[in-house]
Amino acid sequence: MTPDDVHAALMARNPRAKCLATRALHAADSSGLTRSSGVADEVPVPGRPERPALVHPAKLARRGLGTEYGRAALIHAIAHIEFNAINLGLDAAYRYRGLPADYYADWLSMAADESRHFEMLNDRLADFGYTYGDFDAHNGLWEMAVKTAHDPMVRMALVPRVLEARGLDVTPGIIDKLKRVGDAKTVAIFEQILEEEVPHVEIGTRWFRYFAEPRGLDPDTTFFALLDEYMNGGPPGPYNLPARREARFSEPELDELTARDARRS
């Protein structure tokens, strides 16, 4: 496997083709990636289908879960996140070169997981008579990929440890609401996704520290400095502290997140 192979999957526009190519990469030998060096010169715009249309988040469909339309809109929104997460995993493997074999194994494994999540959600959308692209979406995840492309330490801090970790925080509440409306099939999908997202966030934690410590940077203080620089201080609470602990957030980090959230109140 070479960076060109990863790039081909990243640029695939058809969701099914992208999912199949991603899982094939995960099953392949990634040693060719460890022998390449440098950082990709440009941030490629990843392949995506013509739909969904990308709009401002305020223009997205309401997701009241009491109706099938509202549940379909929610499922589509999460499917879009998972589709973007495939691209984020592939880009992390494509963009940063000459790293340990475990780095590429982690990110290709994560991308393969996200491809399964996407297909599970898209299959569930079909139960409601929809498919991926039938609702509008936004481009926030990929915008952060562009902002962090210059430095793998910044990417590790802000994509898995903020954007993906946000899913750990909000998914339990979504599951509770779906249980109240009796949607057991969607609940089962979301529960599986929640369980499998914890290791993805942990991958971000591990490699963030890998990049920070040789620079003489304290990971805890550096994480919050990056939140201040790029994300206006970080996401609001409440936080899923048990899941974040599983993903190897330190106790000082959790304390500071909680304190920052209290100061916003």
Q: Residue 35: its pLDDT value, please?
A: 72
Q: Would you state the pLDDT for residue 258? A: 96
pLDDT digits (tens, 9 = 90+) for 11-56: 999 999 999 999 999 999 777 787 776 666 666 789 999 999 988 8
Over residues 60-83, the pLDDT tens digits come to: 767 788 899 999 999 999 999 999
Q: What is the pLDDT of residue 135?
A: 95
- pLDDT tens figures, 201-258: 999 999 999 999 999 999 999 999 999 999 998 899 999 999 999 999 999 999 999 9
Q: In the predicted model, what is the mean pLDDT of residues 118-124?
A: 98
The average pLDDT across 98-118 equals 95
Mean pLDDT on 144-158: 93
Q: What is the pLDDT of residue 181?
A: 95
pLDDT of residue 43: 65
Through-space distance between the first and last CA atoms of the chain, rounded to whole angstroms:
50
Percent of the chain with pLDDT over 70: 97
Across residues 173-177, what is the average pLDDT? Answer: 96
**What secondary structure does DSSP assign to the chain, as a single string?**
--HHHHHHHHH--SHHHHHHHHHHHHHS--HHHHH--SB-SS-PPPP--S-SPB--GGGSPP--TTSHHHHHHHHHHHHHHHHHHHHHHHHHHHHB-S--HHHHHHHHHHHHHHHHHHHHHHHHHHHTT--TTSS-B--HHHHHHHHTTT-HHHHHHHIIIIIIHHHHHHHHHHHHHHHHTT-HHHHHHHHHHHHHHHHHHHHHHHHHHHHHGGGT--HHHHHHHHHHHHSTT---S---HHHHHHTT--HHHHHHHHHHHHHH-
Sequence-ordered list of residues with C-beta below 8 angstroms from that of 36, at least 6 positions apart, any chain: 2, 3, 97, 98
The CA distances from residue 130 to 18, 68, 111, 184, in Å, are: 20, 11, 24, 19
**Does the pTM of the predicted model rise above 0.75?**
yes
Q: CA 155 to CA 11: how far, in whole Å?
A: 20
User: Residue type for 85, please?
Assistant: A
Res 37: pLDDT: 64
- 182 pLDDT exceeds 90? yes
d(CA 43, CA 52): 21
